[in-house]
Amino acid sequence: MIPERIKKGDTIGIIAPANPVTEENLLDFNSSILLLEASGYKIKIGKNVFKNPTGYGATAEQKAEDLNYMFSDKDVKMVWCAKGGNNSNSIFDLIDYENIKRNPKILCGFSDITSITNIIYQKTGLVTFSGQTFKGVASCETEYSYKEIIKRLQDASLEIGTADDEYRVLQDGEAEGILIGGNLSLMHDLVCGKYTMDFTDKILFLEELGFESPPEAVSHYLYYMKQNDVFNKIKGLWIGNYEHESGITLEQILKDTIGNEYNFPIIKSNNFGHADRKTVIPVGTKARLDTKDGIKIKLLEECVS
């Protein structure tokens, strides 16, 4: 199930299912409003975006209220998460999945929003998107992330990133599968339990924030996934940005974790994750990963109509 693309004149609904928008975020948040309005879009802000009754954000009920409302609102054509943060998973039990099936539309965000984009795809079959958050789109050092939003969600381009994005091959091979993924620590949380992703025959994309997750934590996440057979199920692996003051890379940790035990292809790029350059990756769309191809990762089907 794919959502409709956005077009100029459409209304974009803003929600904050992770951390709230605070005073220190207002400059970036307001700049993003001005940018999108100047581009021809209307902005509708969820009533709970700024609320913080718990001291660490809105309640689960308030967050879910905004998400469910935006999917119900016929005027809203895209639901864009304001920022990342923590505990987006608090709304899993409160999401109206049937409402989403009846009203499919674009949902975009990254970092902690990984929880929601992947679970909504898992529960409804709706293609969702890993891409820049609303607050961040006007504060990036380059226009890359904003252009990627427009390219994918307005223009319906299947091109991932730009021609000058660099890809490194960590393990040769080729594979086709459905893309799922995002933030490593959040995907680790979706391996087991009531809210579990189906990793079978998927191409998994992973990134992590070095500021919050030191190498030993990243190792923990990857070993947990290995011990629960994730790497026996997937068809390919695409790793993105991870920067830590130690200089230890995600590639090093991955090598320590899985070595040469698996025969799926693995590539590395810096065009998604906690970095200035963020392409928009559809969760739930078929892709091809081919390490011998000049274009290492390709989308094989439309992700917006």
Q: In the listed set 154, 187, 214, which residue is the last one of a domain according to the structure?
A: 154
CB distance 241 to 273 below 8 Å: yes
Among 304, 301, 284, 13, residue whose Cα is nearest residue 123: 284
Task: Answer left, alpha or beta for residue 80, where phi above 0 means left and psi between -120 and 50 means alpha.
Answer: beta
Q: For residues 211 and 144, state if they share a domain.
A: no
Q: Is residue 160 part of a domain?
A: no
Phi and psi torsions of 180, nearest 5° = -140, 160
C-alpha 133 chain-centroid distance: 9
Q: For residues 15 and 147, state if they share a domain.
A: yes
Q: Is residue 162 part of a domain?
A: no
Among 219, 230, 233, 236, residue whose Cα is nearest residue 185: 219
Band of residue 285 on the pLDDT scale cut at 50, 70, 90? very high
Q: In the listed set 154, 183, 202, which residue is the last one of a domain according to the structure?
A: 154
Q: For residues 51 and 131, state if they share a domain.
A: yes
* Each residue's pLDDT tens digit, 166-222: 999 999 999 999 999 999 999 999 999 999 999 999 999 999 998 889 999 999 999
How many Cα atoms sit within 13 Å of 267 on the Cβ side?
28
* Each residue's pLDDT tens digit, 56-109: 999 999 999 999 999 999 999 999 999 999 999 999 999 999 999 999 999 999
The count of domains in the chain is 2
Q: Which domain holds residue 281?
A: 167-299
Confidence (pLDDT) at 139: 76
**Tokens representing 247?**
């200089």
Q: Is residue 3 part of a domain?
A: no
Cβ neighbors of 259 (< 8 A, separation 6 or more) are none
CB distance 162 to 144 below 8 Å: yes
Q: Is residue 5 part of a domain?
A: no
Angstrom distance (rounded) from CA 301 to CA 158:
8
Angstrom distance (rounded) from CA 258 to CA 223:
8
Q: Which residue has 């199920």 as its token pair?
A: 233
